[in-house]
Amino acid sequence: MGKLTIITGHYGSGKTNVAINLALEASKKYKNVSIIDLDIVNPYFRTSDFSELFKNNNIELIKPKYANSNLDIPSLCFDISAILSSNSKIIIDVGGDDSGAYALGRYSSIINEYKDELNMYYVVNFYRFLTTTARQALNLMYDIESASQIKHTGIINNSNLGDETTIDTVLNSFEFAKQISQISNLPIIFTTINNKISQNYDIFKPVDIHIKPIWE
């Protein structure tokens, strides 16, 4: 794991759940881990909803001023230079699509100085509306790069159907992910699967599912 890992993707692709799992995994290996919630609005599901989980695992959560409130006001007050100069492993969960990536673009000149220690992973979900073909997914990926002014370094296949996901659900997404990888010339970093479904670590990267209850 490099100094900085950035997670992007389409709305509903599961990028936030991926980011949470990466942070938890990193906390088992490294003393200092930080996760940045870079959503500029208050969507239904965001990294900041899991502050207690991060606290219990000694992960520093860095979030917008009005996260977890009823105010829908873009308010970023991050000192990215100071954060990156720390000795923490840093994970950034970026808002969905290119609209969310514009917030990342505000810090692109600083972030790109760490390109040798930077990974930006694009999360794809074969079953998510508007990204059901490799070309659709790639067009969105390029829009995110244009908005953020940062290039992706890999693909994460997070194809799922929520509670209805089976091993076959994920296996059937392999060709989709492969096409994205071949056209973009970017490697598939891993393919996720709910660890309650499969323990086949040779094929999948098992992840825990962290979902905010609908009544909260």
DSSP annotation of 164? G
Q: CB burial class (10 A; 0-12, 13-18, 19+) of residue 28?
A: exposed
Does residue 75 fall inside a structural domain? Answer: yes
pLDDT of amino acid 160: 95
pLDDT of amino acid 72: 46
Does residue 212 fall inside a structural domain? Answer: no
Does residue 214 fall inside a structural domain? Answer: no
> Which parts of the chain have pLDDT scores under 70?
40-45, 65-77, 199-201, 212-216
Domain that holds residue 57: 4-207
Query: What is the Cα–Cα distance from 128 to 144, expressed in whole angstroms?
Result: 17
Does residue 84 fall inside a structural domain? Answer: yes
* CATH code (residue 100): 3.40.50.300
Does residue 216 fall inside a structural domain? Answer: no
The count of domains in the chain is 1
Query: What is the Cα–Cα distance from 40 to 147, expressed in whole angstroms?
Result: 14
Does residue 213 fall inside a structural domain? Answer: no
For the question of whether the overall pTM of this predicted structure is more than 0.75, the answer is yes
Cβ neighbours of residue 28 under 8 Å, at least 6 residues apart? none
